[in-house]
Structure 1
């Protein structure tokens, strides 16, 4: 057992039918055999114990070596919940409040304007920390994913936001218009970058040092960070891509995220990307998720208070402002760095047989997790393929969504949901 994993228990003792849970093996291997995915790693936990952990496919298609149990993955947007926990740890110290104006911490934003019909107009309300944490602060993004003004996204892309340091990014962002008035539009993108700078300013520490001291170290997440030590880089799962014939090939870019293209796999970049820059393992992220499930603590390490976890995993979006990507989502809200399944029967792309109030997120390369407080279930899965995480956001991907398959199989196997191990 990895020193960073949860204690194992038999699936039956945790309320799962072992035979039904083993359907995961057939499903995941079937996708590997079909050539849809190069490698898949999945862990299922309940009541704080590990019910199942399996790896499928190849660490390297070129060599045929099997996927390592300790494989390291680029977790992309699963960085966002980590940044939210860091922010909440500072919230607990009274360093910021939901209704504080963001300019209290980022005075560079004092002269922000909104672009409307080609004109710049003043803000009609202050941008608050609540807006920033709920991803409705008004910023555009680099790609037109749910954009209301693609030309503005082109301006953001042309600004070369990530070529310097995190502080340089804020100065560049302050010169760009907002897409919408604060609190009026959920727009996936740059809010966590601003949060990362606020963490550094409030703590007086580099972002990576703060995360290590306050989260990764206490939780025993020994393989999580913005870079990978040279002697451990052989553990990094290569990122693959499907071509127009659905044939897998090594992706040209092996950086943590496309905006860091040119950064070698495992190399720590100058810019620490709060939206999508971390590497991690299934075992490490399972411990992070279990800490949230256990209301802020794990193995004696208290990271957050229960009330902070509850706030972070509550729907913070203003009334009438839906979570949206290419389209508005029904049945889903957004907390701090996580989506919230408000109505499982109607939750677009994230519903089904899952408890109301479950929170989740994923990464564009195919990593995912969810925590289901109703059934005390956690699932963490990891893949490394270009755009394999699209399904979570309702964007097309040409092969089956293994995250959705895992959800159906896990809950189909939970035949004794009242079991308390």
Structure 2
């Protein structure tokens, strides 16, 4: 009979990943937790429950929760145009059609609002067709794509560059991936006058006891920090001759010092138990240890699909059977054995996955250190979800 450890070990033993950790919790009880393999291909240390990972896009729900805290504080409202805090976006231009050249533009017909950023419908970002001309500068100039924290400009310079790039569609007219979460991070710092790392530490990490979650790893914790790899066609000359994996970042690499741009889309490092604390807060409708971080209404808005059927379909493989809430996907169709309508969460391109199922009070977490090759989910994730669902 399969168990969590055996499910993860299958992928370590076949050489596809150096190691992985997984956890399944129901309400206040951790049902299963397993750590298998090593923190790197050399086997220098065994993987552990408290190993630290680059969590990439499962940063997004955390930052969306922080935006909702500002809404509850009365500092911003969902319908507010963001131009008053992000003047670079006050009068954006839009390419005439999604396939138009970047200089064939028209004015935006409506302002970008806080709600547009939270629902990833501001007009910036990418979906299934990466060849569209307006997407090219997002990768080349803004360094969108696999996280590289030391290569991205500081927020004011980043925003100035973004202001010269047209929207792919009119604000509110469709869903696009990723960049709206980076904009949420800049919005938080502009509204509060506080750097994003400090705001998240004060309002989320410290109250929840998320002691290992941050935008960089201090020297005293580098021994718990995993190495990060690529496999397949994208792996280059640094490929390890035994494992076949290419080292993308070592513990003393890009996350060993604070980044110029703290990415709300994918910049955090964390552990299983830290993200479990965040997930349990959402399951408790914003409460944790007798303290309320968010109202139940805010949590429901975050974890409810905000997209129309056509907007979901435009997401292509990014939204396979899913919609989008604030900062994460929401299952709306049972298209796979693990699909549970109402399941909320997301995956990280560094090989991480985090979900909650409000109906059953479940949190499922799986962290590995292998870069995803595209928007389709790797076998390790699919097997973990299948196991967690009892399929």
Q: Aligned partners of 2:329 and 2:189: how far apart in 1?
A: 25
Cα pair distance change 1:148/1:114, threshold 3 Å: farther
CA RMSD of aligned residues (A): 2.4
Q: Aligned partners of 1:36 and 1:315: how far apart in 2?
A: 33
Number of aligned pairs? Answer: 373
Q: Could you list the runs of 5+ residues in structure 2 that have no partner in the other structure?
A: 144-150
Q: Aligned partners of 2:115 and 2:332: how far apart in 1?
A: 19
1:184 matched to 2:166? The reply is no
Report what 1:321 is aligned to: 311
Shift of 1:334: 0.3
1:269 matched to 2:264? The reply is no
* Pick aligned residue for 1:360 from 332, 345, 349: 345
8 Å contact 2:92–2:167 — kept in the other structure?
yes
Q: Aligned partners of 2:330 and 2:93: how far apart in 1?
A: 30
Shift of 1:102: 2.1
**Secondary structure, in 3 states, of the residue corresponding to 1:321?**
helix
Report what 1:47 is aligned to: 27
| TM-score with structure 2 setting the length | 0.88
Q: Aligned partners of 1:211 and 1:326: how far apart in 2?
A: 31
Report what 1:11 is aligned to: none
**Secondary structure, in 3 states, of the residue corresponding to 1:70?**
coil
What per-residue deviation string (whole Å, max 9, x for no partner) do you get for residues 17-43 of structure 1?
A: xxx6x5222221121111111101001
Cα pair distance change 1:313/1:177, threshold 3 Å: same
Shift of 1:295: 0.8
8 Å contact 1:325–1:394 — kept in the other structure?
no
1:296 matched to 2:286? The reply is yes
Q: Aligned partners of 2:244 and 2:230: how far apart in 1?
A: 5
1:110 matched to 2:87? The reply is no
Q: Hey, which bits of structure 1, 4+ residues long, moved more than 6 A?
A: none
Q: Aligned partners of 2:319 and 2:329: how far apart in 1?
A: 11
* Pick aligned residue for 1:407 from 368, 385, 389: 385
**Secondary structure, in 3 states, of the residue corresponding to 1:50?**
strand
Report what 1:59 is aligned to: 39
Report what 2:120 is aligned to: 135
* Pick aligned residue for 2:363 from 368, 378, 382: 378
What per-residue deviation string (whole Å, max 9, x for no partner) do you get for residues 316-359 of structure 1?
A: 1246311654447463110111100112x23xxxx424432110
Shift of 1:243: 4.1
Q: Aligned partners of 1:372 and 1:292: how far apart in 2?
A: 10
Report what 2:109 is aligned to: 124
Q: Aligned partners of 1:277 and 1:331: how far apart in 2?
A: 26
1:207 matched to 2:185? The reply is no
Q: Aligned partners of 2:250 and 2:189: how far apart in 1?
A: 24
Cα pair distance change 1:297/1:315, threshold 3 Å: same
Cα pair distance change 1:306/1:135, threshold 3 Å: same
Q: Aligned partners of 2:318 and 2:49: how far apart in 1?
A: 37
Cα pair distance change 1:265/1:194, threshold 3 Å: closer
Shift of 1:363: 0.4
* Pick aligned residue for 2:246 from 251, 265, 268: 251
Shift of 1:87: 0.3
Q: Aligned partners of 1:331 and 1:146: how far apart in 2?
A: 14
Shift of 1:185: 2.3
Shift of 1:298: 1.6
Q: Aligned partners of 1:215 and 1:370: how far apart in 2?
A: 18
What per-residue deviation string (whole Å, max 9, x for no partner) do you get for residues 164-195 of structure 1?
A: 31122112111111111112221112111111
Cα pair distance change 1:222/1:131, threshold 3 Å: same
**Secondary structure, in 3 states, of the residue corresponding to 1:44?**
strand
Q: Aligned partners of 1:329 and 1:76: how far apart in 2?
A: 17
What per-residue deviation string (whole Å, max 9, x for no partner) do you get for residues 357-409 of structure 1?
A: 11011100111011111222111110001216x4xx326x5xxx222212222
Once structures 1 and 2 are overlaid, which stretch shifts more, 180-189 or 319-328?
319-328
Cα pair distance change 1:255/1:139, threshold 3 Å: farther
Shift of 1:210: 0.3
* Pick aligned residue for 1:311 from 301, 307, 314: 301
What per-residue deviation string (whole Å, max 9, x for no partner) do you get for residues 118-157 of structure 1?
A: 311111232222221111111145xxx5237532222233
**Secondary structure, in 3 states, of the residue corresponding to 2:310?**
coil
Q: Aligned partners of 1:330 and 1:239: how far apart in 2?
A: 26
Once structures 1 and 2 are overlaid, which stretch shifts more, 239-248 or 158-167?
239-248
